[in-house]
Amino acid sequence: MSKNIAYGLGILLVALMLYLGLVTNSHQENIAGVLPGKEAPNFKLKTIEGKEVSLEDYRGKVVLVNFWATWCPPCREEMPLFERVYRTYRNKGFEVLAVSTDSSLDPVKKFVKEYKLSFTVLFDDRNITSLYGIQGLPTSFLINREGKVVKVRLGEYKEIEKDLKQIL
């Protein structure tokens, strides 16, 4: 196998692993276009029920904005954790905005029903994914009450509860 082919296959494998959330990066805050310490860009999207909401509507609360898809195994894995954490901390000012990047709404509605998700699920028109510089799924942004990003996470966000306790 030539060096060029091996190099190309290596790059393809790393890109695929990043896309699936299987590789983490010690500099995760540099993966996405939105960096910790910066204000999270406002956006408006519709819920899966058709109601328009904006990130600005949640100012004064701690918000987890999670980009995900129903076909993404790590995304599916973290949703029950997000639901548990949401139910535990919602009365303390915590909200979850799960931004689906699926190509159609039907699998998202089915997924929400199957997993009994009670937090807000939004459907992206691809503009918000681009605005946030999403390079792989899942990608999460933890935003404080002032609207500033405090954590960016590519891949499963298993430490959400620990990070949340520090800023609530």
Percent of the chain scoring above 70 in pLDDT? 80
d(CA 63, CA 166): 13
Q: Are 100 and 69 in contact (CB under 8 A)?
A: yes
Averaged pLDDT for residues 90-114: 97
Find the mean pLDDT for residues 125-130: 85
Cα-to-chain-centroid distance, residue 67: 3
CA–CA gap between residue 138 and residue 22 (Å, rounded): 10
Residue 114 has pLDDT above 50, yes or no: yes
Please tell me the distance from the alpha carbon of residue 150 to that of residue 33, in angstroms, as a whole number. 14
Contact 52, 38 (CB under 8 A): no
Helical H runs in 67-119?
73-89, 105-115
User: Once rounded to an integer, what is the mean pLDDT over residues 138-142?
Assistant: 97
**Residues 6+ away with beta carbon under 8 Å from 86:** 94, 95, 96, 118, 119
pLDDT band at 9 (very low <50, low <70, confident <90, very high): very low
Which residue segment(s) compose the domain that 44 sits in?
A: 3-167
Rounded to an integer, the average pLDDT of 122-132 is 89
Query: pLDDT category, 24, cuts 50, 70, 90?
Result: very low
The SS3 of residue 160 is: helix
Residue of 48, 69, 75, 128 marked catalytic: 75
Q: Is the pLDDT of residue 65 over 80?
A: yes
What pLDDT is recorded for position 33? Answer: 66
pTM here is 0.81
Mean pLDDT for all residues in the chain: 86
CATH number assigned to the domain comprising residue 140: 3.40.30.10
Question: Is 72 tagged catalytic?
Answer: no
56-63 mean pLDDT: 98
* pLDDT at residue 11 is higher than 60: no
What is the number of structural domains in the chain? Answer: 1
